[in-house]
Amino acid sequence: MAWQLRRATGPMLKIHRTSGRKVVFTVSGQLDSDHVNELRQVVDAEPAGGVLVLDLTDLVLADRDAVRVLREYEARGRVVLHNCPAYVRTRMVVENDQP
Residue 26, domain CATH: 3.30.750.24
Report residue 66: phi and psi, to 5°: -65, -45
Beta-strand runs (E) in 1-99: 2-6, 12-19, 23-31, 52-55, 59-62, 79-82
pLDDT in tens, 8-66: 445 688 889 998 888 999 999 999 888 899 999 999 999 888 789 999 999 999 999 99
Which pLDDT score, from 0 to 100, does residue 87 have?
A: 93
Q: Read off the pLDDT of each residue in 70-85 and give the average, rounded to a whole number.
A: 95
Under 8 Å CB-to-CB from 47, ≥6 apart: which residues? none
What count of other Cβ atoms lies within 10 Å of the Cβ of residue 15? 22
Which pLDDT score, from 0 to 100, does residue 91 have?
A: 92
Residue 35 lies in a domain: yes
Residue 99 lies in a domain: no
**Residue-number span of the structural domain to which 39 is assigned:** 2-94
> Which has more pLDDT, 65 or 3?
65
Number of domains in the chain: 1
> Which has more pLDDT, 8 or 94?
94
Asked if 27 and 42 count as a contact pair (C-beta separation under 8 A), the reply is no
